[in-house]
Chains A and B, each alone.
Chain A
Amino acid sequence: MSLQSLDVIRRSASTSSPPQVRETMEVAKLIDVSKCIGCKACQVACMEWNDVRDDIGTNVGVYDNPPDLTDRSWTVMRFYEEELPGKGLQWLIVKDGCLHCSDPGCVRACPAPGALVQYANGIVDFQEEHCIGCGYCQAGCPFNIPRFSGKDQKAYKCTLCSDRVAVGLEPACIKACPTQALSFGSKEDMLDLAGERVAELGQRGFEKASIYNPAGVKGTHVMYVLPHGDPAIYRLPVNPEVSPLVALWRSGFAKTLGVVTMLSVVLAGIFHYMKVGPLEVEEGGREKGGRAP
């Protein structure tokens, strides 16, 4: 029952499926890059709510601070200066963090039962008490998101404030955003909102504006509105998908085929012995028994 009341629909490395019948609303966060002013209130709210404090870093010469996601910085503003044809110099600000894929590579790759779960509302969440620190999730993730703590060797990333969402609140970053660059709601509503915004941007000269909700991972529960359209400009993977290598390596079929084959080798030995018998040598040096009749 515990999995049911949590509405867990997928659990890493498990031989049985969690209860599937209950259906809850899929949620999503929409990041409208065209409205973001790079104030980092979302970064601060994330630290506040989740009680994580990163080490004091050093100035790397740009606004990025910290310069990368860490086990204690689950979301990071990334600042890019891009010369775009016809648009001149553009300052692009991209809020990086977990996209909460519908087909999460981390969950597929994880070998520790229940260290990663996917809720019916679409959130993908580490359950760190089950994490063994192997790092397979990092190989599985197409977005380079999970980070390990040097303190406990466990993986951390954005939880989409699963604890807040579970009691009907929006994630902390949404609450803190002063420009409404961040929105939160049902995935359906967020797609509508994104569609409206893309149309609006189109009228204002951003003809290539697009929604980033990549189909290769069956859509995500963190989506972007990209005013210049091409995800590559924003350093987002253009066609992200779970690598075929990971799909094969961690596929239930391949692993089960491997185990069945290994058991077959043991069985083949037993049956060979029962049919052919041992190869024994008599003291005189001749083979004992000879061929079976």
Chain B
Amino acid sequence: MRPLQQMPPRSDPNLLPRYTHGERLTHWAVAVLYVALFLSGLALFHPFFYWTSALFGGGAFMRVIHPFLGVALAVVFYAYAARLWRDNAFVPSDGKWIRGMFRYMNREGEDVPVEGKYNAGQKYMYWSMIFIIAGLLVTGILIWRPYFAPSIAAPVKRSAGLIHAVLAFIMFVGIGVHIYAAYWTKGSVRAMTRGTVTRAWARFHHPGWYAKVSGKGGP
């Protein structure tokens, strides 16, 4: 018999911790809520996708739970985001990174070394979600029947409905880019599934962060 906590060994010297248990669990709670919200919202967005309402026990029940899921997402997301905002503050080199982003995506030319835990693209994703989720929360509450919508004037509800749909659309595009970027950049997904990344990954993608957490200089 071997003690379970030693298999596999927890402290692989080749791995660096990137996300704590708490961070990973809140991230995935947000992800699960996002998928449920996206599928239920899609049924209301276009009749072509009304069938997704069947996944929620029919249209009426879907209409009931969508706003509760939305509030839950906002609560969990902001709790998660509050832990990350320092690492997402912009630094001067971020502008340079953004200008080289398309070359980076095509794996051409020289990349711009990233100073902190996140590159500029990740930071833009972070801040756009901060604002989009706030917008979705506010506009969603304005059209939330039967609790809030009855006391809201029709012109306000019209604007809120339109803005809610546009923001949800932008969020889908943003989250699509986020998921693809994680898949494309091999070695990234494990940061969120297992909490660790390899030293080689950290040195290549986030040399500044690597130097800080490992106590070693950059490349």
Using a CB–CB cutoff of 8 Å, the interface residues on chain A facing chain B are 13-15, 111-113, 130-136, 138-139, 141, 144, 148, 150, 153, 243, 245-246, 248-249, 255-256, 258-259, 261-262, 265-266, 269, 272-273, 276-287, 290-292
Contacts and interface: CB of A to CB of B under 8 A. Distances in A.
B86 interface: no
Contact of A135 (B145, B199, B219): B145
B184 A278 contact: yes
Given A111-B44, A259-B48, A283 B154 contact: no
B68 interface: no
Given A259-B46, A281-B200, A153 B173 contact: no
Nearest to A246: B158
Contact of B169 (A138, A148, A261, A292): A261
Given A134-B145, A269-B180, A287-B204, A278 B43 contact: no
Interface of B is mostly: helix
B39 to A, nearest CB: 13
A255 B146 contact: no
Contact of A282 (B46, B49, B108, B200): B200
B217 interface: no
A279 B47 contact: no
Interface of B: 43-50, 53, 58-60, 62-64, 105-108, 143, 145-146, 149-150, 154-155, 157-159, 161-162, 165, 169, 172-173, 176-177, 180, 183-187, 198-201, 203-205, 219
Given A112-B59, A292-B107, A279 B185 contact: yes
Given A249-B162, A269-B183, A291-B107, 11 more contacts: A15-B48, A132-B58, A132-B59, A136-B143, A138-B149, A139-B154, A249-B158, A259-B49, A262-B176, A265-B173, A281-B200
